[in-house]
Structure 1
């Protein structure tokens, strides 16, 4: 009882040294990490693939009201909006300034091929259907035998063509018809003389028609602003259409000659010039826009060329100084010549 600590240490050492103690048996319950199933890692990898597919689909979606278009050779804004987006003339005209602002376009007359344009419109379903048809079109190339049949038909036609030398023989047959014509005047010399006497009379009759063309109409105009000078020129020559207005809100007029219509305007912006140029793309209608500092020589000559009038300068060596004179042959229903003079 005098040494209790010694006794306690002895008992603890005896318990620890016993085989099969609780501390050694704990190793039987250890778990190997390789036996676990790593299923959550695969599920986390599949989720990003679904998200990327959704993003790719949204790239051409029109939920936000925007789409993209790649410029091709010959494209312009007016054609893109009408053909690929189905807009009318007025709707395309109203939307062009917004498209130019979104894409930073300063010159509407020229687009860079290959440039992607942002259009504030969704794509039409008809356009996507056409693209799908184009993708499926190569599968229908199962008829290469038709060209062979056409080739056989072509060879048959070519074989039949050499059997037609008859037109050449017919062209040589009129030669003997000319010989009796040369013999007839010998038998009928009196009638031949009568015919020769009558022929000068028939030739002299049409010579009276050019005499009408020699009658000149003298027109003198004072130099003025480009549109005013061109309007006065069309008015004096009988080409002006006063009741027809095409360009609104600008100094403009319309002239017509021999089925060709020319719309003359001044003071248009580049956007307005582009828009009206697209609206007036017709075979017999043209737009003529003058600058503010256009010379009188350029005004007269541009107007004449575009409307289809032939002209000759009275002085071929004139440099554009005033007075300036032009000759316009055979103008108007009476086919009279016009002598136009521009004075200061």
Structure 2
């Protein structure tokens, strides 16, 4: 037993005595610590470390790319569909302008077709008169004088477009006043004004100081004998110039004492020697597209023109008919129930193209009368004075009551 222990100890000593000549054999199970250190940081950052491709690996970036695009086209499609849907109901309400479409208008108290087109849609008188027959035909209006309040009228879109065009025109000139104000500060020629005042006016008073020295002309004054003859000749022609010139032609006086508008109109027409008719029926020409038959209060003609005077007609129906006649070439005058002599006389004279000359005028005998002085077109050059003052019926130049020409 002791021999075996001594033999093992000897073997151990022998092995330890071989310092550098013994090498360990390579083993497939050896582990390098450095390799473990290098792999450690790679394990902490798995995203940066390349991994083997696997059929079950999922890339988060690919998921983001595949998930985000689908909702975008859906949102765009919804935005595009919105305006298409909103445009459809507008056509159902006839708000879209186009051929063959109309605008709906609800009749209000006091409305008539002409007033609707002019006041509500902004059409001119001529355009409204041309459009009235079409509106009557479209809406089957039995009586344009009685429109039912609350009923709906179809108005062609041409009237609506005319109104929108006018509103644009009203907005556009807003920039013009700014342009007009810009050149206002430009007048720099102000410095030229002091140049005009610059000429020394003080030099002028120096001249009158030099005038007193010439006393010689005073000595020549004693020759006044021929002087009185010259002024006497000059005074004689001045006297007739100061005298008022007599009237060139005789002036007839027409005294209008009535207060009723119809009588005032008749008196003025008689004084002007116009041939007029009362309650005349005016019909449209044969084959006209818009046939009409209208009774007017007064009708007369002068120099190829046709005139109509309406007295006291203020209802919308009569107003529309008169506008139709005016569109057919007649010259229309509307007289109110409360108009007086001064107002009626001025309107009638302007209607036939005469200037209303109202004031004091000189007549025969050197008298002055107040009224309208009218020069007649006859070759004799007769004049008529229309006045509301009473006139002496015994005077030769006074026209009879009603001012019928003599």
Shorter-chain TM-score category? 0.3 to 0.5
User: In terms of Rg, which structure is larger?
Assistant: 2
Task: Pick the structure with more helix per residue.
Answer: 1
